[in-house]
Amino acid sequence: MLAIRLIAEPDRLDVLVLPVRPVDPAAGGDASAEPVSTAAAPPDDTADEATALVSAARLNGRAGEIHTQLRPGRTPGRLLLLGIGDGGEAAWRTAGAALARSAANETHITIALPGELTPAAVRGLTEGLLLASYRYRLTEAGDAPTLDGIDLLLDDPTTFEATVATARTTAAMTHLARDLTNTPSSTKTPQWFVDQVTSAAADLPDLRLRVRGPAELAAEGFGGILAVGGGSASGPRLVEMDWHPADARTHVVLVGKGITFDTGGISIKPVPAMKLMRKDMAGAAAVVAATLGAAALRLPVRITTLAPLAENMVSGSAFRPGDVIRHYGGTTSETTNSDAEGRLVLADALAYAVQQLEPDLLLDLATLTGANAVALGKRTAALYSENDQLAADVLAATEAAGESAWRMPLHNDYAEYLGSDVADLYSAPTQGAGSVLAALYLREFTGELRDRWLHLDMSAPSWADGDQAEVSRGATGWGVRWLLRWLASVD
């Protein structure tokens, strides 16, 4: 990641960035934007130059707007005017992301920041810079970005050290989730995922890790995970991580869907729908990365994370449409669509959490249905919960983190569609409202935690077709940022 320094005196001024904000229309005048007074006075009359450039370039100061001025033979050699909008955290995040991309071919930049700056603004800027500079490639074809150092010029750098450290951890864990999700499935088997988690957890004290393989899953009755993973030469796994600080008062269980590739099984997908199915473990990536981040930040909340991992393949040992699957704890599901596999592995993990872990709160994240994007578009997850406070807290965390979710209804009259003639439940009803029905199915495995459970269908926002603010094309790492904010607030 980018090296970010907090400094009070600049020692390198190749490129200087000065913030610009919109002018309040109520103040009168013809200008639509103005430079912001910074903690350290910019050198070589750049303040006057910036004021003239704002007018000449007709800048409006919106967050992420950038104007570059070349200054041959002078210091700094380049002056960048950066729009910061209303100066809130979200605006600074957008500004940081735009700057990271605009200055990607520089080697070093210095950002002169306002004297009156909140920790939230610094966090937003830092996250924007780090997240937008993310790049995943398996080859080095083409020119790689050269920007490797950024100085934040502040009045009192020590004030913001903890804020930047938190932002750096958040970005690092988001990068990890993106890396895990972007990795091609020719590499990303369930065991490969386990190896990555084991390596990432090795240097974190007090973080315990347990991995169940096929034999243990069979002995303990995890029928859903075994059924979905049964068609692959790469057997399924169940990762269980436990972060248990001594001062924790609340126990949260996080469950993440971890289908390392999804062909659809015998109900095989068409090629266009299959080619991006390496992202079908983005939920597992998010909850694992967030737990690693919580341990790194030493958040005072107990977290047990479950990542059921399987590859849904076509073979003679693949489960069939119409099979009846016995889940952990004994509940049975009739499945007539092997492409609705994610809910089957989640059902096992949820039932295990309820019966063995006794958490205070239970959350699951899953790239579960295409209906998520039909209902809410490509940037917003569908949130389901019967707990108004829990839903409100999570929605507040997603908004603060710059991610997006929308609460959806859990219509009880749809539950009748889950009825099966041969099993306890029918896993994939076809009456429509696919995301809602999938959530209702999962609810059946939450037992006494039904009123403390929250489900996020994150299929749509887990992947981006192009760069957008701090989100880079490909895997987005959706969920890591808001989870870390929410976990830090759990009492």
140: amino acid identity, one letter: E
The verdict on whether 379 is a catalytic residue reads: no
Give the Cα separation of 234 and 68 in Å (integer): 52
Sign, CA dihedral 290-237-441-353, equals negative
Task: Decide if 289 contacts 480 (C-beta within 8 A).
Answer: yes
Q: Is the C-alpha dihedral spanning 331, 333, 339, 340 positive or negative?
A: negative
- Is 74 among the residues known to form the active site? no
| Euclidean distance between CA atoms 23 and 35, whole angstroms | 10
With a CB cutoff of 8 Å and minimum separation 6, the contacts of 476 are: 178, 461, 462, 463, 464
Which residue in the list 278, 343, 452, 481 is annotated as catalytic? 343
Set 5, 71, 74, 269: catalytic member: 269
Q: Do residues 280 and 257 make contact, with C-beta atoms less than 8 angstroms apart?
A: yes
Q: Please check whether residue 36 is in contact with residue 15, taking contact to mean a CB–CB distance below 8 angstroms.
A: no
Cis upstream peptide for 76 (omega within 30°):
yes
Contact partners, residue 440, CB within 8 Å, separation at least 6: 410, 411, 414, 415, 418
Write out the catalytic residue numbers: 269, 343
